[in-house]
Structure 1
Amino acid sequence: MTLSLNEIEVKKVTGVSAQKQGELHAFGIFTVKDLLEYYPFRYEDYRPRSLSEVKHGDKVTVEAKVIGIPVLQRFGGKSRLSCKMVSEPFMFTATWFNQHYIREQLTAGRGIVLSGKWDQKRSQITVTDYEFPDRGEGKTGTLQPVYSVGGKITQSWIRKSISQGLQQFGELIPEILPRVILQKYDFMPRKRAIATIHQPEDSREGQQGRRRMVYEELFLFQLKVQAFRVLNRGRMDGVVHTVDNATVRQFVRSLPFELTDAQKQVELEILHDMRSAYCMNRLLQGDVGSGKTVLAAISLYATVKSGFQGALMVPTEILAEQHMRSLTRMFEPFGLTVALLTGSVNGRKRKDLLASLQMGMIDVVVGTHALIQEDVFFKNLGMVVTDEQHRFGVNQRSVLRRKGYNPDVLTMTATPIPRTLAITVFGDMDVSTLSERPKGRVPITTYWVKHDLMERVLNLIRREIDQGRQAYLICPLIEESEKLDVQNAIDLHIQMSQAFPDYKVGLLHGRMTPGEKDEVMRAFYSNELQLLVSTTVVEVGVDVPNATLMVIMDADRFGLSQLHQLRGRVGRGQHASYCVLVADPKSEIGRERMTAMTDTDDGFEVSRRDLELRGPGDFFGTKQSGLPEFRLADMTADFEVLEQARDDAAGLLRDASFWTSPDYAPLRNYLQSEQIFQGDLID
């Protein structure tokens, strides 16, 4: 049986020693497949050009002839070597730094190919690379790939190793795209595309190779998420919640407020999914303060009343405690048992809690990532509610399935996303949107001021805390940077403590332990601290109804969505609330961000403006959204390709022959390897 490239260790490539294999592991290269798919991020152009085509400051390769006597100058331990050259019809000076040994090779009349930066004013090339044609050296006239390397892995070594890998194992590179796709886009074969990316004959060929492999990455991503959705709808082995409308209405009527029309619509969508036999996988998106948590509570209540257990997973312990308190308050009149499971719960208490959970004595458990540890078992888990920082991807759902559960999953996000974009990026999820705010929500007034008005900002802080309110002061970094002129959080805390000696000023930043952060937030929540100086770790945080002022220093350093999330930390109580952006933006985009924030406090409008300014790729950072890190594809530059791939994947999955035809066997094998389905599903 022929081994796949993913089963052949990289040390099988001639020239890769055991030591080099270990060094390659640091770059995520373990197999021959990893090596051949370790793509360059740019190319060095060694194709000779005429100096008449070159602009000042450009990097250029020229064919030249030595016409002068090389002059060597020394400065301490450094040297500069200069020599007159001619590249018809231009005369110029070639300059090398700290390469004095070349002097003996620069004999009059000898041909040389030089690469370097062209200084038009001085008629000089600062040489970074050179070759003598009479030696038969081989870069001249080529595009040389440039890889991300470091340590003892050099550019020349990785180029040679990839070339050797292609020579030894290139014939084993499999084709995965079906003929219908290859013909539709006139793609080159996969084997040739990979080789071309590493060793392009010219720019056009390199672009064609990249085009094919970018499409493949995005197509496989779309196929994976859409197949999961299709098969999920087809598997009727999910949890069927049998709760009736009257029972749900009884709980909703007990709430101290009326649901908005948007909340009522989303409630219907969620309950419809819960009553079906397929596993719900729904994204609930809504602005800060739009009432997502209430819908999570309704979902969990309906789960318990159907005879199952529910879990709510959040990113921090103090947020888990907050949800624990609010759910207990809502569920207690109905006899539901709520428990808290976080990293701080240990010893006998943890052991007893896990036993109660497994025996079904706990109805709803609230916690952090501790909920998905291996020793956590439920008697009959029926619903998992999770926030955006713990988005359940396809693989996490598979883990739950292997545990024997097929729970419904509701994922909440406070980053409103345009619907068409959400459907494209989160293809495995149904999308519900909360488009209006609950009645009585306090509007937040936003101001943008320059640094020279900081005294007025301090007066506003004093006014609010003198009235018994609390304030946040946000700055981006926690240590000084020579590159960014950003106020240091620790220094700012000292300054604010001096500016407000009559009040207690807290400090919160990312280098504190989870326990330290929770302690600070508890103190702020209970008004033991009146002013909190913080980095963006407070972005996902606890509701502090008494906090009425958010001041963001160097606000132009933040993205629009992040600014809006920070603004949403205030306005949670009954008092008028304010957000002050302190910034002197140097760029037009920075100024547009500030204007957008003062123009509207509607999260969907902010997201629309953010998308316009940053593009879909930056809008969906990989860590933020749960997207994979692509090897070649770029979400901003290749978004149109992603949309094409989405439509193509959907079309294939609708075609009955996809599940049986030999043409699609490689794609079915891919889906099986990603644990999207087991083999018997397609028999």
Structure 2
Amino acid sequence: MKLEEIPVEVLPGVGEQKKEALAELGIHSIADLMGYFPYRYEDYRLSDLTEASHEERVTVEAQVYGQPSVRWYGKKKSRMTLRVQADGVPIQVVWFNQAYLKNRFRVGQTIVVSGKWDRHRLQLIADRTFLSESEKEKVVGRLEPVYSVNSKIRMNWLRKLIHTAFTRYGRQIEEILPEELRKKYKLISRASAMYYLHFPKGKEEGRQARRRMVFEELFLYELKIMWLRRFHRQEVKGLVHRFENEKIRAFINQLAFPLTGAQKKVVSEILSDLREPIQMNRLLQGDVGSGKTVVAAIALYANYLSGYQGALMVPTEILAEQHASSLKKLLTPWNLQVVTLTGRMTAREKKDALGQIQMGLADVVVGTHALLQETVVFWKLGLVITDEQHRFGVKQRAMLREKGEVPDVLYMTATPIPRTLSITVFGEMDVSTIDEMPAGRQPVDTYWVKKELWPRIIRFVQKECARGRQAYVICPLIEESEKLDLQNAQEVFEQMAMELAPIRVGLLHGRMSSAEKDEVMRSFANNEVQVLVSTTVVEVGVDVPNATVMVIYDADRFGLAQLHQLRGRVGRGGGKSTCVLVANPKSETGIERMRIMSETTDGFEISRRDLELRGPGDFLGVKQSGLPDFKVADLTHDLRILEAARTDAADYVNRKDFMTSPETRPLYEYLCAQNLTQTSFD
């Protein structure tokens, strides 16, 4: 019987109540229990006080040479002190609210205490005391695991239960990694690694155990990804686009500006995909203003030359209109008909657009969620492009794909994703990156100022508006909040409208209807409104080349990637642009964010630093990210192991005898257990 099939209640002490409490932690079987790893360890190995740093946590063996003294504060609070000698140093040990220990000490006795060391006062604040030999034997000299528990599960009880599970079933832990992989990376056995992660005797054992389990986790994850890629490449037959290179070259040569090296590279990758008889599944990522729209236009033109229609789905109506305008300028001279479809259109306009789409008169369709409606029927859909793909759910993206037979799919995002995450979260996709800005694009000057300088910021905005420029002012909240002392959009709007008069100030926030938002954005785009006070709804918004100032209030409350996206709203025209971060950060993280934003405008560098500061879950937003819930691996530090695991997983999956070889059979059985093997590759 496999460990996954043995219920946890077979262990002594696990009755109905404990079974339910363990289930709340996700523990149902012996395998779940053994795989419930600690998130940290308490170090009870003996320290040398002569080498210990101030406020370091230490565990020392000491000899009692005084009597304990207890001082009471009220009826329940107490402070007990005791003079001892440790490592030849006379020190004082202090216990808070543990007066019950008073009668357990005697002069000459050897005790072990653990706690925070005050080097200046030669004082140790004890939080754990070991007096009997049996207590010392169980814990002292070891790293003790600390687990996430709930109110119904005590830590010590869980430690004992896990130890019992290993004592009874440890020999049944099956190896899953092929022997050649274990030898290649000098990995310890699965059984040893799992045991030592719970009960390491020392740092080296713990390091080897973690190294083994990190590789296993990442390798098995990449194995699933590579299996899905193999299925996609061998089973999902796509359209074969046929177009002449000369016509593509002529289109590129007629552009108003030369392509950057990065744009040429990704264009080559996309065109190569279009020619393959396999459905394209590619993510195109590039910083704000790096030229993704031009790349999309080239792909749509190649798709048109092949006799197919193309669709571009974007998250907002104003963005749809803007993309349609840009694509018309690029594609209309080459006889392509670009049609827009949004919810804002009149019934007559929609009817005309739907007719053109169905009859094949529309070569490129740009729209919002309206593209997903049942009434939208394409004549011959060959290419689907989704802009800011993270704004759409998985089902929505799939619905657009299903409008065609097997259209090629290109996802675009202006949120630079560090390599670690792109090959994990988007592992089943091919990833293209534009990491070079077009010539002539000026970086945005970024300054961090304290709130006390707000009057100077007002004068700076006035000066820019007097020159005919426009400004964004971003706030984190819509209305006043008692809990958070943050400047809010409504308050700033009222203040700026008064201080900047007669300059016109607009207000934009998430509680407005789509029509109201579009109206405000349209007024700003047409320069009818010079200053736009807004929440983060403009993070992915329209292109207003005339806007040269971005003021972000309470900037330390935003993540780095979000700050960078907001900054990307300016610097889109020829004029010099400025971003002002207004913040009085109280945390080290907040200060670090302000420093990073002031130092660099490179989206990929900012992305990497953001990942380090926040971790992958917060970076992407755990719920919508599709990020796997790794138990041991840490994507911010384990990139080299991830890349090695990915290479090895691809090698195994593509072997002809992968499903039949005794060496790889456990891997195939693992995929079977994940319900990923319904498709044959014969």
- Please indicate, yes or no, whether the TM-score normalized by the shorter chain is above 0.5: yes
For 1:467-546, list aligned pairs within 5 A. Answer: 467-474=467-474, 492-493=492-493, 495-506=495-506, 521=521, 524-525=524-525, 527=527, 529-546=529-546
Classify the secondary structure of the residue corresponding to 2:664.
helix
The worse-fitting range, judged by mean Cα deviation, of 53-62 and 644-653 is 644-653
Q: Distance in 2 between matches of 1:261 and 1:353?
A: 35
Q: Distance in 2 between matches of 1:524 and 1:416?
A: 27
Matched, 1:339 2:337: no
Matched, 1:48 2:50: no
The worse-fitting range, judged by mean Cα deviation, of 232-241 and 506-515 is 506-515
Q: Distance in 2 between matches of 1:9 and 1:318?
A: 56
Q: Distance in 1 between matches of 2:15 and 2:368?
A: 43
Counterpart position of 1:596: 599
Counterpart position of 1:177: 177
The worse-fitting range, judged by mean Cα deviation, of 150-159 and 377-386 is 377-386
Match of 1:661, as an amino acid?
S
Q: Is the 8 A contact 1:394 1:676 kept in 2?
A: no
Matched, 1:39 2:37: yes
Q: Is the 8 A contact 1:282 1:429 kept in 2?
A: yes
Counterpart position of 2:201: 201
Counterpart position of 2:460: 460
Q: Distance in 1 between matches of 2:400 and 2:18?
A: 38
Q: Is the 8 A contact 2:260 2:438 kept in 1?
A: no
Q: Is the 8 A contact 2:338 2:366 kept in 1?
A: no
Q: Distance in 2 between matches of 1:378 and 1:23?
A: 53
Counterpart position of 2:645: 645
Q: Distance in 1 between matches of 2:174 and 2:400?
A: 32
Alpha-carbon offset, residue 212 of structure 1? 0.4
Matched, 1:607 2:604: yes
Classify the secondary structure of the residue corresponding to 1:283.
strand
Q: Distance in 2 between matches of 1:18 and 1:519?
A: 60
The 3 A distance-change label for structure 1 pair 651 and 490 is: same
- Stretches of structure 1 that go unaligned for 5 or more consecutive residues are none
Q: Distance in 2 between matches of 1:77 and 1:352?
A: 83
Q: Distance in 2 between matches of 1:334 and 1:649?
A: 44
Counterpart position of 2:620: 623
Match of 2:50, as an amino acid?
S
Q: Distance in 2 between matches of 1:659 and 1:362?
A: 47
Q: Is the 8 A contact 1:81 1:103 kept in 2?
A: no
Q: Distance in 2 between matches of 1:307 and 1:119?
A: 77
Counterpart position of 1:58: 56
Alpha-carbon offset, residue 634 of structure 1? 1.8
Q: Please give the TM-score of this superposition, normalised by the length of structure 1.
A: 0.78
Match of 1:596, as an amino acid?
E
Matched, 1:121 2:130: no
Alpha-carbon offset, residue 673 of structure 1? 4.9
Alpha-carbon offset, residue 569 of structure 1? 0.7
The worse-fitting range, judged by mean Cα deviation, of 469-478 and 513-522 is 513-522
Alpha-carbon offset, residue 667 of structure 1? 2.1
Q: Is the 8 A contact 2:117 2:125 kept in 1?
A: yes
The worse-fitting range, judged by mean Cα deviation, of 448-457 and 213-222 is 448-457
Q: Distance in 2 between matches of 1:614 and 1:459?
A: 36
Q: Distance in 2 between matches of 1:500 and 1:28?
A: 57
Alpha-carbon offset, residue 514 of structure 1? 7.7
The 3 A distance-change label for structure 1 pair 159 and 335 is: same
Counterpart position of 2:100: 101
Match of 2:294, as an amino acid?
V
Q: Distance in 2 between matches of 1:181 and 1:396?
A: 40
Alpha-carbon offset, residue 672 of structure 1? 4.8
The worse-fitting range, judged by mean Cα deviation, of 512-521 and 294-303 is 512-521
Q: Distance in 2 between matches of 1:164 and 1:350?
A: 68
For 1:393-472, list aligned pairs within 5 A. Answer: 406-415=406-415, 428-434=428-434, 443-448=442-447, 450-451=449-450, 454-472=454-472
Alpha-carbon offset, residue 458 of structure 1? 1.9
Q: Deviations over 1:389-440 (max 9, x none)?
A: 539999999999999964422122335579899779865444444466567x
Classify the secondary structure of the residue corresponding to 2:191.
helix
The 3 A distance-change label for structure 1 pair 460 and 108 is: same
Classify the secondary structure of the residue corresponding to 2:633.
coil
For 1:144-293, list aligned pairs within 5 A. Answer: 144-167=144-167, 169-235=169-235, 237-242=237-242, 257=256, 260=259, 262=261, 263=263, 266-293=266-293
Q: Is the 8 A contact 2:385 2:410 kept in 1?
A: yes
Alpha-carbon offset, residue 145 of structure 1? 0.8
Classify the secondary structure of the residue corresponding to 2:636.
coil
The worse-fitting range, judged by mean Cα deviation, of 580-589 and 91-100 is 580-589
Q: Is the 8 A contact 2:67 2:82 kept in 1?
A: yes
Match of 1:409, as an amino acid?
V
Q: Distance in 2 between matches of 1:114 and 1:402?
A: 66
Match of 1:566, as an amino acid?
L
Alpha-carbon offset, residue 471 of structure 1? 0.9
Match of 1:240, as an amino acid?
V
The worse-fitting range, judged by mean Cα deviation, of 117-126 and 189-198 is 117-126
Classify the secondary structure of the residue corresponding to 1:680.
coil
For 1:10-29, list aligned pairs within 5 A. Answer: 14-20=12-18, 22-24=20-22, 27-29=25-27
Q: Is the 8 A contact 1:116 1:127 kept in 2?
A: yes
Alpha-carbon offset, residue 238 of structure 1? 1.9
The worse-fitting range, judged by mean Cα deviation, of 390-399 and 363-372 is 390-399
The worse-fitting range, judged by mean Cα deviation, of 554-563 and 390-399 is 390-399
Number of corresponding residues:
670
Match of 2:241, as an amino acid?
H
Counterpart position of 2:129: 130
Q: Please give the TM-score of this superposition, normalised by the length of structure 2.
A: 0.78
Alpha-carbon offset, residue 119 of structure 1? 2.1
The 3 A distance-change label for structure 1 pair 175 and 61 is: same
Q: Distance in 1 between matches of 2:161 and 2:355?
A: 54
Aligned identity (percent) is 49
The 3 A distance-change label for structure 1 pair 539 and 129 is: same
Counterpart position of 1:72: 70
Q: Deviations over 1:458-501 (max 9, x none)?
A: 22211233455321123567899999997666654554344334
Q: Deviations over 1:192-232 (max 9, x none)?
A: 21121011122221111111011112223333434444554
Counterpart position of 1:92: 91
Q: Is the 8 A contact 2:610 2:619 kept in 1?
A: no
Classify the secondary structure of the residue corresponding to 1:662.
coil
Match of 1:638, as an amino acid?
D
Measured on the aligned residues, the alpha-carbon RMSD in Å equals 5.1
Q: Is the 8 A contact 2:324 2:339 kept in 1?
A: no
Q: Distance in 2 between matches of 1:152 and 1:242?
A: 65
Alpha-carbon offset, residue 178 of structure 1? 0.5
Match of 2:459, as an amino acid?
N
Alpha-carbon offset, residue 680 of structure 1? 1.6
Q: Is the 8 A contact 1:113 1:133 kept in 2?
A: no
Q: Deviations over 1:140-191 (max 9, x none)?
A: 3321111234544443344334334444554443322110011122211112
Q: Distance in 2 between matches of 1:94 and 1:325?
A: 75
Q: Distance in 2 between matches of 1:66 and 1:18?
A: 46
The 3 A distance-change label for structure 1 pair 111 and 256 is: closer
Alpha-carbon offset, residue 276 of structure 1? 1.3
